[in-house]
Amino acid sequence: MLYSVGAIGRHNVVIAYMPGMGKASAAAVAANCQASFPNIKLAAVAGICGAFPFTPNRDEILFGDVITCEGIVQYDFGRRLPKGFVRKDAL
């Protein structure tokens, strides 16, 4: 695993470089970070995501926009229907 370490103000920061894209790579990075840095208080994930091109109020989302949210949903945990995304509640 390749890490860069540094500080922002009084906070220690670690940037982990993903070896590839996808869920398996992200899970491996998260597990390795937790093992390498057991006292992590906050983890922030940043990257390029596959998203809808418009917000619910029809504002366009463009490449380079910063998107924040309270949570994310893995694409295979739901279905995109004409009236919106519906999360699966069972296997």
- What's residue 78's pLDDT? 73
Nearest to 66 by CA among 46, 50, 84: 46
Nearest to 52 by CA among 61, 43, 44: 61
pLDDT digit string, tens, across residues 37-63: 888 888 777 766 666 667 677 777 777
| Domain carrying residue 69 | 2-87
Confidence of residue 7 (pLDDT cuts 50, 70, 90): very high
The total number of structural domains in the chain stands at 1
Query: 14 vs 57, which has greater pLDDT?
Result: 14
Question: How many angstroms separate the Cα of 79 from the Cα of each of 27, 35, 36, 85?
Answer: 22, 34, 36, 6
- Is the pLDDT at 75 greater than 70? The verdict is no
